[in-house]
Structures are given as C-alpha cells and as structure tokens.
Structure 1
C-alpha cells in the first residue's frame, strides 16, 4: 500500500544543556531514544535540526556587558557616537545596548520609524499619514516624536521602547540624545563615528555611511568578533544573533557549527546506519500578521548544515497540472499522469509555468522556519526537531 503520510515534524525532548556538555552525544541519544519511545524508525534523508541556543550554551559562548563596553571603548574612544537602527527587543538588543552605552560617554541614539528592521512598530503608518510625516525624508527629535505621537506601547510587550532604551543608556552613565530617521546618513551631523545595529541591511548601511564621510563605522558583527579577555565571541557575527542571558550577560550566536553538524551526522550514521541531514537553526523567516513582526532577528536562519540541505526545492504545482496539463483526466488516470510527470521533471524549474507559486526559498530557510515554529521559544523543552519525509513528493 502506498504511504499515506507526507512530511512529519517532531519536537524531540532533551536534557537542559549546560556549558561543556557533549551535545553530539545528547542529540544522538535523544533522537534515537525518541524513535524507540514513540515507535518510529529513522530513514535516509531525515533532517535533525538543533536550535542554536543549546549549541551556544554547550560552548559557553557568553559575554558580559563589561566585555561589550571594553570592546566598544577600545574601538570608538571617548568621542560622541551615533548608535543607529536598533531593533526593539528586550531579549535581542537591550543588554547589548547597556554594554555599548557603558563603553561611551555620549550617544546619539537614532531609531528607524515607523518600525524597526524586523517589524516592531513605534508608530503606525496611519499615524504618520494623519500627521503628514514622510518617514523617508523627515528627521524627528525626541520632542517632535512626543509632540506628534505621545506614548506608544508595543502591542505584545506593553513597552515604550523610546523611554526604555533612553533609561538603559542613562543607567550606564552615558549621555543620550534621541533621533528618528530612516536615512543612515542623517546621523552624521551629530556624530562622525557610528555603530549601526541593523541586521540584514548592514552592508548597505556601512557603504552609505562610508561614502558620506563617516570617520568610523561599526556593525554589531564587528563588536565582540574576537574575545575580550576570557569572553565569548563570534568571529563572523559578533553581537548579531545574541540573546539576553541575564541582566548583564548575553548568549552569543554559536561558533564552529559546521564541525558540530557533521559530527552529529556521523554519530547517527554509526549508530543507525541511516544518512540523515543535520542543521543548526535560529529564528525562522516569517511575518506575524497581527503584530507585523518579521521573525528573523538572527543574521541567518541556519549558520551550518550538512551538504544534502544545500539549494532550493524544485517542485511542480499539482493543482496547476490538474487544471491545465491534465484537465481532461480524472481518477486513477489523472494520478498516474501526474506521478509520471513528476518523475520526469527537470532539476531546475525556474521560469516554468508548472512551478509557479512553489516559493523556491532555500531549503535551510524553509526547514529552519518549520523547526522554529515547532520548538517555539518558551517551555516546550524540544530543542531538537526531527523532520521526516520532507524530500518526498507525490510520485514517491
């Protein structure tokens, strides 16, 4: 009988991970233990995904705000520094901001508006329209913002991020001036040294600032990109992808992930004889329809994955085939025709009408988003996700 189930996704429970734990063994034991407990078997081309959080925890990749401050001060000195385009997040940026502020004497903090880069809104587009504000051209002071828009609380957290971030900077003994603008170059009349905190647009921001005469430009990926004393670091991403650990420490994005995924793949093959694919995943890439937040606050969905996860899907749209190529068929004849068509499909369907609407995003972005939704960010206790049947299709 043909298999009646396609893709299956399972969150896999694991122990609480601490620094120094053998995560390769824990992942292997947990996946095999889940299979034995739930009565399913591993298969070739299954995907085992591990959240970046436990990889970084096992590595002990942490930093204190004093480490951030020391790095910032060493790179920026005592001059006034513009800190621009922060994302609005207690988890993702607040502790980083405290460390940056602790390393400076004066900061000009410039928010993008109406929202940050990942969709957290300070004000709504309707509010801008009502007040006649053009966010692409208009530069607002803190006074302008309050006069026009008053207090605006984040719909999910209830936080006034302008007031909250200002208080964090002042708490660290740093003088702060607040601005609102979307052109990164608007900061230059106020500060010639700039720390730009955007994630996915950081290369363009750096290019524009440098072309406009900025004396120094630092992305978050250039802060703690090397250890400060005994601190953690991330050579490629610095503070990008970090999360709050305590009120004075952050957990950084994990390092050396490629070795880890290859070791897990080898370990599972040794114990099961199955060639599974393995990846590390962080934030998924999807947009919340209510809060308008685009989830991806990590620099990438997956910092490392095994070779079988490279590329994009090459899929045909079944409903297009049924309504067009085989509109004259039904029942078993239609099933047989579509099955044969899928078996003969080209490896690259770009531009083909039969593939329209199949969203050819990278496989790691698709699976990583699926895993992030499965594991969640709270108390599910499933930092490992097993995905089976993802590479199956109607013809298999």
Structure 2
C-alpha cells in the first residue's frame, strides 16, 4: 500500500490530562471505526501545543520581566531581528516593554527571517540592503504607509503601540547587519530564530563588552513555578492569553514510551512517535516560510533518526533504463530497491534527490495534515511510510 496520513480527532486537551492515554485511545478508536490495522513502524505525530498544554507549560509575562531584568542592567535594550508576528512576538514585546523603558527595535529588511515584508524597497531604488541602515526618520518619511499584503497590518505601528501602552519609548531602525544595534545600546536581545547563533557571535565580536542574550536564553528555567524550556527558552512560544505565553515543550521521552506501551499492549505493534511543530515549507504565493519554531520536531523515538536514501526514478527511466521493456524496467527498479535497502545505491542513482531528515519530512507532513485551525486533529497517524 502507499503512504497514508490520517488526521485523528481527540477530545479537547487541557492541563492535567493524561495525554498518553488520550492519544493511544483516540488512535485505537479511529482504527476500529474505520476498519484498519496498525503495523510496526507506523508513525504517530502529536502537535507540540497539546504536549505543552497537558502539562501547563505556560509563562506569565511578569516572570519574563523578572528574567529580563536579571540578565540586563539599566533601562535600555536593543531588540535585533524579531519576526513580524502578532501571535509569536507581541506578548514577548509586551514583557520587554514592561521591563525596559528605552527600546530600540532593529528589523531586517525588506523581509523578516521567515519572509514577512516590512517595507517596499521599490520606493527608493538606490538603497543597498546589504549595507544601508534606514533610520526611524527615513522610515517615517518613505515607508510608513506600508502594510503587510496578507494581513493588511502595519506591523511597525502595531509593535510601536505595544511599547507605548507600557509607557516605554521606542524607535525602529532597519538593517541587515546586526552589529548596527551597538550604535544605540550595548544591551542586546537577539530575536531571530534559525540564524541566532551567528547573530550573537557577530555582535559579541564587534564589542566584547556588550551584553548579548537571545530569546533562547530567556525563560530557560522556572521562575515562581512558571513554565520554561531549558533548550529553546521563548523560541517556539505562542500567544496564550493577553498576559501569558505557551512555551515549546521540553523533551519528554517518558510520554513517547507510555504511548508506545499502551498501543503495544493492545495490538502487539511497536509504533514510532514524534512531537511536531511548524512544518519546514515555504508558501509559494506569500513567500513566507512556515517554520517559526526553532525545529520541526523537538523530540521523537529513536526509530525516526536518520535520512531516507532515495533514487531518482524519473531520471533513471529516461536515461540508463530507457531501452528496457516494461517488465525489464520493473525488475531493474526492484533491484535498485534492494540496493537502497542495503545502502549500496550509486551516486548517479541518487542524482537530484535532496537529503533531509526523516523527522523534518514527517513533521512537515503532519503539520500539513493537521493544519493550524480548528480541525480538531492534533494527532496524525502515518502508515506505510517506510
């Protein structure tokens, strides 16, 4: 059979729920209703949000404020390369503005890290985005009417109003060189996601006396019994309420083992499991990269480690196999599949295939199946993938 991905409905999951039992029961119920069997190495994907919700991994902004003040002295701070997201960054910014009263926000341009546009460079064609810094005055003069083409929101003004509501002063500058923030402050909060390590290093190398932390350094341990993520901090967090964030889940392999054990006791089958967040794909119309989480999958069972070894069937059938009959072609392909299984495929056979990790491919598939709205399917079952 070909690969099948099923969205599995579950009850609404709340803090304190036994997530392992809910996931296992929901899958077993779906298999019974729809008359299919589970197999060894079937894959269960569970969205990261229900993992965090079930254990109450939330942080109040007052605890984020405490952590920020513990790390940064004084009342000034520079925020470097935050993504333009009301869901992802607005509450974080609210906490920053509550902690510090003199804020400089440096945005990359013309887009943020994941592809959200912040200004239209066609307005001024002589700007070199590799070198030029656009000041607040330049922005207000030339670009301030720009709105996001999909949300119709001027995110600069949206972020500005968050700071003003907290009685903080704020100015915006636009640059693709992170060291430029040092012209305004030595207290720097690096806020990009996938390039954060390079950004921190550039700023520290420019000024060894600067105080540089990233969003991945904030809320890495519990404050006043708050939630935390020891590896990613505030990265991967989402708006929960007007004063709190749901954090990315910490690694919890006991959860995965419990689900495996419950299903094995019922079916005698051992399934693989991963926790997934954003998929690693780019929307072809908006040009926005979906992956605003630090990784696609924060943790998973050992059977999902590795990358597929694939051959380019279309290339082979039009080149070295082009003179074979249909039956001969089928035999040749079957021989290649054996080579694939034994890891003896030639480089020519793999021409054009892109090496990717199983967890990134499978997590992206899960995200596409479950969606981000109200489908009510936070669990995905994938069969015949291997």
In structure 2, the CA distance between the partners of 1:340 and 1:224, relative to structure 1 (3 Å rule), is same
Instruction: Select the residue among 258, 261, 268 that pairs with 2:256.
Output: 261
Deviation at 1:190, TM superposition (A): 0.5
Cα distance in structure 2, aligned partners of 1:210 and 1:60 = 35
**2:178–2:202 Cα contact (<8 Å) kept:** yes
Normalised by the length of structure 2, the TM-score is 0.96
Q: How does 1:369-388 map to 2 (within 5 A)?
A: 369-388=364-383
**1:82–1:108 Cα contact (<8 Å) kept:** yes
For the pair 1:143 / 2:142, whether they are aligned, the reply is no
In structure 2, the CA distance between the partners of 1:69 and 1:58, relative to structure 1 (3 Å rule), is same
Which moves more between the two structures, 241-250 or 260-269? 260-269
Q: How does 1:144-159 map to 2 (within 5 A)?
A: 144-159=138-153
Cα distance in structure 2, aligned partners of 1:190 and 1:115 = 22
**2:120–2:146 Cα contact (<8 Å) kept:** no
Cα displacement string for residues 114-160 of structure 1 (whole angstroms, at most 9, x for unaligned residues) = 111111111245x26x4311111111112211322231111221110
For the pair 1:329 / 2:324, whether they are aligned, the reply is yes
- 2:181 corresponds to: 187
- RMSD between superposed Cα atoms in Å: 1.5
Deviation at 1:301, TM superposition (A): 0.3
**1:169–1:175 Cα contact (<8 Å) kept:** yes
In structure 2, the CA distance between the partners of 1:349 and 1:227, relative to structure 1 (3 Å rule), is farther
Deviation at 1:174, TM superposition (A): 1.5
**1:78–1:105 Cα contact (<8 Å) kept:** no
Q: How does 1:303-342 map to 2 (within 5 A)?
A: 303-342=298-337
For the pair 1:215 / 2:203, whether they are aligned, the reply is no
Cα distance in structure 1, aligned partners of 2:51 and 2:299 = 11
Structure 2 unaligned spans of 5+: none
3-state SS, counterpart of residue 285 of structure 1: coil
- 2:127 corresponds to: 133
3-state SS, counterpart of residue 198 of structure 2: helix
Deviation at 1:358, TM superposition (A): 2.3
Cα distance in structure 1, aligned partners of 2:55 and 2:315 = 48
Cα distance in structure 2, aligned partners of 1:24 and 1:134 = 53
Instruction: Select the residue among 14, 22, 28 that pairs with 1:18.
Output: 14
How many residue pairs are counted as aligned between the two chains? 385
- 1:225 corresponds to: 220
Instruction: Select the residue among 56, 73, 80 that pairs with 1:84.
Output: 80
- 1:394 corresponds to: none
Deviation at 1:177, TM superposition (A): 1.5
**1:59–1:254 Cα contact (<8 Å) kept:** no
Q: Which runs of 4+ in 1 moved over 6 A?
A: none
Deviation at 1:78, TM superposition (A): 2.2
For the pair 1:165 / 2:159, whether they are aligned, the reply is yes
In structure 2, the CA distance between the partners of 1:363 and 1:349, relative to structure 1 (3 Å rule), is farther
3-state SS, counterpart of residue 26 of structure 1: helix
